[in-house]
């Protein structure tokens, strides 16, 4: 059985003023082509399908269109869960129509998928809140998936902790997973777990998360789950939430597939990919990664001269750039205009001024009898090692006059 694992599509997400829906179309088309080329039998999408609870129309249409293509008219099963950016109700709403194409949508930890059978031979044969067993065409053994979409800790305890409300989330989840595994997951089928949570090893540093990930490790969110709490019968754990592809050390693969595009500059120059796994009952999985090449790359660049920056920008048009300029004085409007003319994807320009050593020491005293403009000029020289330019002083004059 061949399985494709992806996550964190964040459809509809922007990068400041830039709409990235065209890039998302391209990279999802690439994922569909990989599924076809690899002859995948099952696709797992581990949450954060959209970027907001109320995504734009283009994002919704792209999501449904992509799932329909991935399902290959019911020949291939597609299973998607909600992440912390998703509305559980929105994700589950189209399930009756989606099921007709072999698409399974799970928004809540206690969602029960109604059993169904398609003419293709694809069948949901067993179902329980947080669990589904699927029979795929051309296979004489089923695949079992424990489904754990994102919920905050209060909601999780509502679903899982009625008998043990004092327990921590990881204890509640471990007990639920063990119960499902004991009932359904023998070695006569493929056993998987898919979750949108923050996993780590009990005795290891926490895995990396991008600054734009809007961490779910906050008060009222969901605490980190230890890989040691995963049932031993689970052959592969497909995770979403962290945008950098990574594997959490464990006895069996516990994998974040990562996002298909870089969504913040903390992900600059990251390689993006999907996971392809091959598995049969009762054995270790075989894994490989397939790189994703579509979409504009995010990169951080630092230059000490304007001409060098302009040359690089003109040579790399298909990028988004965080540009640091090392200069002797602040960039003026003319210089900034030249940079933006050379490249349409500059997100921010960070000035880095060269400061002479003699300007680094503290001033002995401040003469408060001086006017505001003189004090500002002295302070600027003290902090920056040079006088403010005329453009900055004009802005200061406007502020002073408006206050007066």
Specify whether 166 is located in the same domain as 283.
Answer: yes
Is 216 exposed, middle or buried (CB count within 10 Å of its CB: 0-12, 13-18, 19+)?
Answer: buried
* Among 292, 324, 353, residue at a domain's last position: 292
pLDDT tens digits, 29-84: 999 999 999 999 999 999 999 999 999 999 999 999 999 999 998 999 999 999 99
Specify whether 269 is located in the same domain as 302.
Answer: no
Specify whether 335 is located in the same domain as 264.
Answer: no
Given this model, what pLDDT does residue 165 score?
56
The domain spanning residue 31 has which CATH number? 3.60.21.10
> Rounded CA gap, 110 and 129, in Å?
4
For tokens 């283009």, name the residue: 58
pLDDT tens digits, 276-300: 999 999 999 999 999 999 999 999 9
Following CA atoms 226, 228, 234, 240 in sequence, which dihedral angle do they give, to the nearest 10 degrees?
Answer: 20
- The rounded mean pLDDT for the chain is 88
pLDDT tens digits, 308-355: 999 999 999 999 999 999 988 778 889 999 999 999 999 999 888 776
Given this model, what pLDDT does residue 381 score?
80
Query: For the chain, how many helices (H) and strands (E)?
Result: 10, 21
pLDDT tens digits, 211-269: 444 444 443 455 688 999 999 999 999 999 999 999 999 999 999 999 999 999 989 98
**Confidence check: pLDDT of 364 > 70:** no
CB–CB of 111/129 below 8 Å? yes
Q: Which residues touch 310 (CB under 8 Å, ≥6 apart)?
A: 338, 339, 342
Q: Give the 3-state secondary structure of residue 206.
A: coil
Specify whether 205 is located in the same domain as 271.
Answer: yes
Specify whether 264 is located in the same domain as 309.
Answer: no
Is 328 exposed, middle or buried (CB count within 10 Å of its CB: 0-12, 13-18, 19+)?
Answer: exposed
Share of the chain above pLDDT 70, in %: 89
**Confidence check: pLDDT of 403 > 70:** no
> Rounded CA gap, 211 and 228, in Å?
26
> Rounded CA gap, 1 and 47, in Å?
22
Three-state SS for 242-257 is: CCCCEECCCCCCEEEC
Predicted TM-score (pTM) of this structure: 0.83
Specify whether 75 is located in the same domain as 205.
Answer: yes
pLDDT tens digits, 173-213: 899 999 999 999 999 999 999 999 999 988 876 666 554 44
Specify whether 261 is located in the same domain as 380.
Answer: no
Domain boundaries, position 331: 297-403
Specify whether 268 is located in the same domain as 323.
Answer: no
Specify whether 320 is located in the same domain as 361.
Answer: yes
Given this model, what pLDDT does residue 46 score?
97
Specify whether 194 is located in the same domain as 235.
Answer: yes
Given this model, what pLDDT does residue 8 score?
97
């Amino acid at each position: 059985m061949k399985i494709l694992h992806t996550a964190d599509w964040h459809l509809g997400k922007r990068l400041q003023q830039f709409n990235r829906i065209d890039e998302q179309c391209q990279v999802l088309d690439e994922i569909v082509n990989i599924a076809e080329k690899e002859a995948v039998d099952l696709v797992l999408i581990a949450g954060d399908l959209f970027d907001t609870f109320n995504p734009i129309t283009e994002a919704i249409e792209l999501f449904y269109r992509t799932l329909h293509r991935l399902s290959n008219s019911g020949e291939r099963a597609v299973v998607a869960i909600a992440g912390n950016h998703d509305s559980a109700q929105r994700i589950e709403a189209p399930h009756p129509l989606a099921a007709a194409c072999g698409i399974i949508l799970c928004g809540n930890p206690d969602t029960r998928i109604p059993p169904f059978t398609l003419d293709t031979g694809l069948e949901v044969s067993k179902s329980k809140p947080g669990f589904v067993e699927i029979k795929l065409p051309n296979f004489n053994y089923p695949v079992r998936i424990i489904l754990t979409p994102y919920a905050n800790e209060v909601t999780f305890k509502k679903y899982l902790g009625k008998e043990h409300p004092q327990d921590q989330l990881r204890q509640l989840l471990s007990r639920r997973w063990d119960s499902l595994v004991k009932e359904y997951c023998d070695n006569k089928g493929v056993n998987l777990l898919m979750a949108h949570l923050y996993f780590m090893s009990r005795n290891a540093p926490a895995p990396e998360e991008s600054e734009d990930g809007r961490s779910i490790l906050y008060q009222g969110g969901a605490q980190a789950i230890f890989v040691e709490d995963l049932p031993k019968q689970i052959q592969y754990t497909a995770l979403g939430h962290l945008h950098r592809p990574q594997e959490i050390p464990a006895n069996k693969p516990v994998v974040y597939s990562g996002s298909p595009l870089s969504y913040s500059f903390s992900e600059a120059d990251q390689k993006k990919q999907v996971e392809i796994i091959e598995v049969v009952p009762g054995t270790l999985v075989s894994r490989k990664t397939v790189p994703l090449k579509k979409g504009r790359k995010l990169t951080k660049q630092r230059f000490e001269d304007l001409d060098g920056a302009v040359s690089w920008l003109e040579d790399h048009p298909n990028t988004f750039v965080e540009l640091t300029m090392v200069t002797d004085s602040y960039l003026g409007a003319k210089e900034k205009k030249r940079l933006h003319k050379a490249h349409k994807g500059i997100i921010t320009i960070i000035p880095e001024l060269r400061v002479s050593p003699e300007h680094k020491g503290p001033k002995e005293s401040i003469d408060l009898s001086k006017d505001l403009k003189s004090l500002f000029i002295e302070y600027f020289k003290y902090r920056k090692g040079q006088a403010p330019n005329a453009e900055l002083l004009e802005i200061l004059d406007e502020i002073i006059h408006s206050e007066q």
